[in-house]
Each structure stands twice: as C-alpha cells, then as structure tokens.
C-alpha cells in the first residue's frame, strides 16, 4: 500500500491509542509517523507502544517512523500553602528561591537560572500566559514583580520567560535518561524541546551519534533569532505552536510559522507543523471549520507533515482525527491552485551536483508522462534533495538501510522501500527500480520512471546519476 498524498501525518500515541487494534487503525487511516511523548507515561508504556508499532510495520510491510519527543527543561512555580491563590492586576508579587510554600504575596520559583537572566521590565508568563508579571527589582535569588494580568495560580504551573535567552542546558537529567532508553529501543527520530540555539542541537547529535535523526522543536523566540543556524544543525524542524503561542503574541504565530516553513523548504529539511491542529476532536467527532483551514494552510505552504497531539493520544476519537487530517490533505493536494502555490514558493537549488540531478528529476517529470521518481539511497540524502524540489510525482526511495527507510516516512512525497538486495550495475539497478515501482503500484508496463543514484553504488552522498527508463 502507499499513500495517495504527499504531506505526512504524525500521530501521538497515549492512553487512547495503546493497543494493537487502535494503532493499526491509526496507520490504516493515514498515520505515517508515531510520536512517543516522554512528557507523559512510563518507560514500560513507551516500550510497549513502540513494539506495537513495529508489529504493525511487520504486518503491513511498510516502514514506519517512531519519534521520541523529549520533555525538555520545564520551568515551574512552586507550591502554595492553602491551595490556589488569586492575583489582582497591579498587586505586588515576589518570586524567590525560598522553598517555603507561597501565598498571595509570594511564591517559590526554584530556578536560579531565571533570576540570573532577568532585567528590569522582563515579563514572566505563568500558566501559559494566563497570568503576566513584570519584573521590577531583582537579585540572584528573588524578583519583585507587579501583576500585569491577574488570575488564579496553583501549584507547579509553568513559567515562560519570552524575551530572555535563558542559561539552561538543552536537556535535563530526565531527558538524558529518556534519550538513552529510546535509543536502546531503536527510535528513528528524536525531538528536542525548547531549542534556543544551534549548540543545543549539536549537543544532542553528539550523544545520538547517528543512531537516530534529530528534530529541533521551535517554541522560543530566541530560536527564531537563530533560525537558519538551527535549521542547518538539525535534521528536521517542528513548529511547536503551543509554547511559541505563549511566548509570542498570538497574532505573530501564523507569520512565524510561514517563515519557518519557507526556510526549511529552502534548506531541504523536513518541517512539521504541530499543536492544536484539530484540538476540538479531543471531544468531538468532527473539527471546527477553522481547524480544518489550519491544517489546510500548513499543507498549502508545503509543510512535510502535520501532527496530532492529544487528539490521538488521549482524545475520544483518535482514528477519526487521523482520517480527517488525511482527507483534508488529500483535498488540498487535489486543488490545482495547490500545485501553483508550491511551484511559486519554490526556491533555487544549491549549486551542487546532487541538486542539479534532483532539479533535472523534477523537470523531467514535468516534461514526460513519468509515473514516479525512483531514488537509490543509503543515507537518505538523495531522497531529501529530491523531495526539496516538490516534484509532481511520488519519490519512490529504495534503500538497503531499514533505519533510513523509517526516517524517510516523515518526508514530503517520499515512499520509502527497504530493499536490501545489492545492485551490481546500471542494468540491474534499472530492472530492480522498474520491478519495485510496478510492485508498489506506482507504475504499470509502458510507464516511464526517472531514476537517480550515486556512482559508485553504495557510497553515501554521491548523487550524480540520472536515468530515464520505461517499465
């Protein structure tokens, strides 16, 4: 089986999607990548879910990607003596390192790194911005603030510091333990939360050592200031609109989303748009019209994938949410204006041999009645550069590496195939490409396929060969 669409779907697994029947139903409905959110659940639960995904993979014969999403450094306020407190606008409120439970005048904030980075006028956002505090006087262990937007605050609510580059490591001790556990299980992608700078990505890559691909989640304004460098360092990017929408004014998020997608497409790096895409489907079998438009807009922009979070992890209608997302994508991609928009937003390739070959692939598919583009790849690089051109036909990616095939399940327009038989020469390569294109139902006898590879065979990063074949 293969998808009839180019954009991919990431579905988060959780309490509502933890059994084989449901995971298989999500795959059949359209899920290409399954996300394990390590902010919730135990190691044993995540291991069980990953094993279920691998069983679905074996049963269907399709490579499926598993994404490990690290929690990251969550900043939280402390506790209160008598339960939730209500802060009034204009009131004074102190935050400090004293662990004593707080009241309506003060509360513990056990994060010295926040106090070290403060400036007069810095805004602190509590509970996803429901309460806003402005810093006046401060020191290494306290901050006297004024309540700008009042509201109720309870134990352990999150704190965001939008305008400050915080001196905090990219990973907590929990993240490091979770990462090592996930790599042992064999996850395909690792999502790094709260990335602020390219060094955060490089640190994780140094730990991963190629055992998985690294996806940087952009949810802090500081990351947008270093956008190109972070994209260059990462293997993929996620527009994580939850915290991004807290730390930036809501009206800026759509523009920032489009900026990130454009930059990723120009660089040829996969980009995922996430958070609240079909939020109402947590409790409703149908989305709002605005949510359907939100998914559609990400697809019109050329995002590689769109993601479901609580909708598939803990919602009442996980299969329906995936199926709805699948139908929205298919509807967009059937719109003639979609192709026009994708072509109009395309940027020039790099002056490199691989990009010259992949541009020729795309142009050949425009000129001839080509059924599919076939790439031979070991690392996935050829397929990524081919997908960057957003060709009008699918990219059938043949690779001897199962890990590469799984990672490519996230990429726009790519249909990965784990083909572990070796290729001896060009005629052998052409014969196998045509046979697999026919077997995977991309081409019929008499159709053209365009083949890209590297010579000599089996050497990563040597895309330099193009061949047009008739099936």
Give the residue numbers marked as catalytic: 35, 76, 217, 275
C-alpha separations of 453 from 12, 196, 269, 458, 464 in Å: 34, 37, 20, 9, 6
Calculate the dihedral angle through the C-alpha atoms of 201, 205, 208, 211, rounding to the nearest 10 degrees. 110
**Hey, how many other C-beta atoms are within 10 angstroms of the C-beta on 390?**
18
Residue corresponding to tokens 């509590």: 126
Q: Which of 281, 221, 312 shows the shortest CA–CA distance to 16?
A: 312
Q: How far is it, in rounded angstroms, from Cα 43 to Cα 37? A: 11
Tell me phi and psi for residue 344, to 5 degrees: -70, -30
Q: Which of 8, 5, 71 shows the shortest CA–CA distance to 34?
A: 8
Give per-residue burial for 278-315: e unless 16+ CB within 10 Å, then b. bbbbbebeebeeebbebbbbbbbbbbbbbbbbbbbbeb
Q: Which of 460, 174, 232 shows the shortest CA–CA distance to 350?
A: 232
Q: Which residues pair with 305 in a beta bridge?
A: 8, 272
Containing H/E element for 191?
strand 189-192
Regarding beta strands 33-37 and 65-69, do their DSSP bridges make them parallel or antiparallel, or are they unpaired? parallel
Q: Which of 164, 154, 114, 115 shows the shortest CA–CA distance to 138?
A: 115
Q: Strand 395-399's sheet: what is its strand order?
A: 414-418, 395-399, 370-376, 448-454, 463-470
Q: Which of 236, 185, 341, 190 shows the shortest CA–CA distance to 8?
A: 236
């Amino acid at each position: 089986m293969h998808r009839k669409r180019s954009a991919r779907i990431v579905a988060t697994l959780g309490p509502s999607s933890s059994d084989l029947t449901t995971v298989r139903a999500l795959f059949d409905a359209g899920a290409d990548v399954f996300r394990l959110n390590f902010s919730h659940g135990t190691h044993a639960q995540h291991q069980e879910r990953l094993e279920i995904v691998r069983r679905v993979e074996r049963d269907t014969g399709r490579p499926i990607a598993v994404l490990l999403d690290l929690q990251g450094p969550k900043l939280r306020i402390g506790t209160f003596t008598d339960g939730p407190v209500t802060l009034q606008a204009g009131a004074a409120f102190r935050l400090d390192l004293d662990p004593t439970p707080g009241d309506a005048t003060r509360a513990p904030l056990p994060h010295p790194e926040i106090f070290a980075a403060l400036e007069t006028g810095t805004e602190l956002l509590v509970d996803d911005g429901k309460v806003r505090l402005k810093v006046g006087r401060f020191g290494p262990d306290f901050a006297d603030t004024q309540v700008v937007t009042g509201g109720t605050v309870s134990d352990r609510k999150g704190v965001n510091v939008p305008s400050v580059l915080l001196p905090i490591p990219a990973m907590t001790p929990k993240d490091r333990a979770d990462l090592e556990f996930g790599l042992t299980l064999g996850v395909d992608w690792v999502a790094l939360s709260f990335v602020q700078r390219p060094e955060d990505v490089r640190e994780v890559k140094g730990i991963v050592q190629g055992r998985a691909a690294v996806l940087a989640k952009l949810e802090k304004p500081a990351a947008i200031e270093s956008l190109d460098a972070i994209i260059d360092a990462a293997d993929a990017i996620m527009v994580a609109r939850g915290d991004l929408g807290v730390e930036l004014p809501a009206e800026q998020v759509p523009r920032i989303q489009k900026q990130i997608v454009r930059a990723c497409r120009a660089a040829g790096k996969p980009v995922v748009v996430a958070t609240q895409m079909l939020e109402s489907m947590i409790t409703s079998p149908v989305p709002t019209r605005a949510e359907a438009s939100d998914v559609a807009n990400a697809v019109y922009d050329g995002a590689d994938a769109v993601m479901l979070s609580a909708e598939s992890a803990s919602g009442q209608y996980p299969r329906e949410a995936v199926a709805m997302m699948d139908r929205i994508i298919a509807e967009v991609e059937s719109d003639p204006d979609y192709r026009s928009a994708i072509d109009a937003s395309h940027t020039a390739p790099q002056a490199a041999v691989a990009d010259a070959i992949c541009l020729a692939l795309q142009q050949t598919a425009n000129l001839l009645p080509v059924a599919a583009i076939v790439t031979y790849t070991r690392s996935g690089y050829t397929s990524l550069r081919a997908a960057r051109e957003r060709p009008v036909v699918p990219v059938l990616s043949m690779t001897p590496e199962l890990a590469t095939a799984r990672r490519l399940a996230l990429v726009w327009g790519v249909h990965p195939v784990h083909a572990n038989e070796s290729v001896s020469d060009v005629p052998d390569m052409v014969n196998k490409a045509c046979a697999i294109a026919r077997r995977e139902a991309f081409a019929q006898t008499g159709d053209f396929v365009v083949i890209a590879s590297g010579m000599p065979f089996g050497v990563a990063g040597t895309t330099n060969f193009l061949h047009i074949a008739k099936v």
